[in-house]
Amino acid sequence: MQASRARLFKEYKEVQREKAADPDIQLVCDDSNIFKWTALIKGPSETPYEGGVFQLAFAVPEQYPLQPPQVRFLTKIFHPNVHFKTGEICLDILKNAWSPAWTLQSVCRAIIALMAHPEPDSPLNCDSGNLLRSGDVRGYQSMARMYTRLAAMPKKRLAARIILITGQSNPV
């Protein structure tokens, strides 16, 4: 308990100190509970998630860093390895390949890398996985882009485009 608290406090200080170091990740600790964090990550460029801002929720166990934090997407995202309803993420380093040398910050980075390189062979979102596995990259990309615009973009830009999107492609 004490160890995890101390370590999270170190990470908190590190995040405060290097706020500007990584503009793609914004980690915020809950005001009242150091075991609850949220992160805002920017969708990587040249992916369907570009331009979107995705919110992640971290629940850190008391055994941290010996146990991995639980992370899920709060923002809706269409991705083979993210559960469409719950936001659960299928990523080995959050499960059996966890190492205590990872930090919350680096986990965010791993998730960004996962967004850029989906792994359709271990899907949590079968629709998305099937599109990629059947070779329909374009179908996957347009679906993912649509949900990025619907769920992960600031509202004012969204308003202008929403008609455009719904007119173009029909969700299944």
Q: Looking at residues 17 to 76 of the shown chain, list those that interact with other proteins (rule: CB under 8 A).
A: 18, 21-22, 24-25, 44-45, 63, 65-67
Shortest Å distance, C-beta 70 to other proteins: 16
90 is catalytic: yes
The answer to whether 77 and 143 have CB atoms below 8 angstroms apart is no
90 is a contact residue toward other proteins (CB under 8 A): yes
Q: Which of 16, 122, 134, 166 binds other proteins (CB under 8 A)?
A: 122
SS3 77: coil
| String of contacts with other proteins for each residue 92-111, x by CB under 8 A | xx-xxx-xxxxx-xx--xx-
Judge if the upstream peptide bond of residue 23 is cis by omega within 30 degrees of 0.
Answer: no
> 104, 11 in Cβ contact below 8 A?
yes
Q: Which of 3, 15, 13, 62 is nearest to 39 (CA)?
A: 15
Contact between 62 and 35 (Cβ < 8 Å): yes
Residues at the site binding other proteins, with contacts judged by CB under 8 A: 3, 6-7, 10-11, 14, 18, 21-22, 24-25, 44-45, 63, 65-67, 90-93, 95-97, 99-103, 105-106, 109-110, 112-114, 116-117, 119, 122
| Residues labelled catalytic | 90
